[in-house]
A and B are shown apart, each in its own frame.
Chain A
Amino acid sequence: MKHSGKISFFAGFAVMLAVGWAGFPRLLYRGTPQPLSFSHKVHTGEKAGMKCEDCHVLRASGSFGGVPALESCAGCHAAPMTGTAPEKRLIDNYVTPNREIPWLIYSRQPDNVYFSHANHIRLAKLACKQCHGDHGDTDTLRPYQEDRVSGYSKDIWGSSISRISFGRGRRDGMRMDDCVSCHREHKVSDSCLACHK
């Protein structure tokens, strides 16, 4: 009986850790599936061989197209190409009635944030992966997870609630601190209006 105090302490500690690390995120975020299943891998793979910028265009004006509009999809999928179920849904539900797909944007920032893809791609020469991870190689779209309190996407905070990332090869999270630390590291502008509007 000598160690029972210690044992119950550590058992309690382990339970609380589990609740905090595994349970709490489930409670904090509300998941919503994307309106359509989409495989980046099929599009960027050998057969289709597309590049990120083929759909996510950077215009000459410096503005960024973000998630492509329906016409990008319809360019190839006006009629069935592969005959898969998701493709049929794309054509029947969106292309034929000419209705935009209501994608949920993982990296949507608050309204007062200004971010220029042009600066980061063309001048800083960052790869898409550096901020968006291996999204371009995934086969399915993960559910969009929204913070129940702030309404922000989970990608803003980062996938790990503790913000410790284990060798994902990218900065985890897209919070102001994440932007500022990289800007300071590279000695580029960190004034308020550099990234706010």
Chain B
Amino acid sequence: MSTTTAKNAKNARYGMVIDLDRCNGCGACMVACAVENNVPPAQAKATARTGITWMRVENVANGASFPEHRTAFIPIMCQQCGEETPCVSVCPQQAVEVDPKTGIVDQMPQRCLGCRYCMAACPYHARYFNWWDPEWPAGMEKALNPEVAPRMRGVVEKCNFCHGRYHAAKAKAAAAGRRDIDPADYQPACVEACPTRAIVFGDLDDRSSQAAQLAKSPDAFRLLPKLGTEPKIYYLTRRPWVREIASASSPAEVRRG
């Protein structure tokens, strides 16, 4: 046992807390995510479902008319389900797994056969299918991130908390002879890009991390908690109507007015 621990960094359970009262819907996270993860520009014929947006910002409104009208934005990506992870249980290819060392739900596009069963299983619509081979405008392929492999037509992909950045943080620690990464070295692209600092990322098992503390706030909640998927993405809001909409199980549950 002792050698096992000595050879491994301590396990983490990475998660995010997104403050919906800070998010102003600018979409910088969506752009940063696509650039970081080599998601190509959408084809002209792509729709919201056939395009690829590992991170997407949804717009909701309280339904009242002026001057009571209010809107809110909800950034949604893979919720990194910690229990009964739906996409993992359905995949016939074992192309999805929960990494016990990081808690990150790993997607292996190279193993995926494209059946899209996981997309049907994911309660959060966080998975995207490559309907077309990736294409970058001439010259833009020079700006691809070498730490992330591009995907091909016919496979599924989704947010993996910018895994390339996790690799980089690990390698930097290793170069200094350390096994545990410096949390400051591992921050996903969306977290970095958000101008209002609405997203806080960290190890939910590390009590000193800001993410772990915010996740315990009474204003924190998760999406579709009744499914028991134990997502590692938390949302924060102090506005009751936003919380009501965001934590509803179906649109029908939301009272408008």
Contact = CB atoms under 8 A, between A and B. Distances in A.
Contact of A62 (B3, B108, B174): B174
Tell which of A62, A63, A116 has the most Cβ of chain B within 10 Å: A62
A187 B5 CA distance: 9
B8 A62 contact: no
A189 B171 contact: no
Nearest to B106: A193
B160 A193 contact: yes
A113 to B, nearest CB: 8
A112 interface: yes
Interface stretch (A77-85, A98-106, A118-126, A134-142): A118-126
Nearest to B166: A193
B163 interface: yes
A194 interface: yes
Interface string B97-141: 101110010101111000000000000000000000000000000
A27 interface: no
Given A62-B172, A189-B101, A193-B104, A112 B177 contact: no
A175 interface: no
Contact of B175 (A122, A186, A197): A122
A75 B16 CA distance: 48
Nearest to A123: B174
A196 B174 contact: no
Interface string A57-75: 0111111000000000000
Contacts of A13: none
Interface of A: 58-63, 111-112, 114, 116, 118-119, 122-124, 186-189, 191-194, 196-197
12 contacts: A62-B170, A112-B149, A114-B147, A114-B164, A122-B174, A122-B175, A123-B174, A187-B8, A192-B106, A197-B148, A197-B149, A197-B167
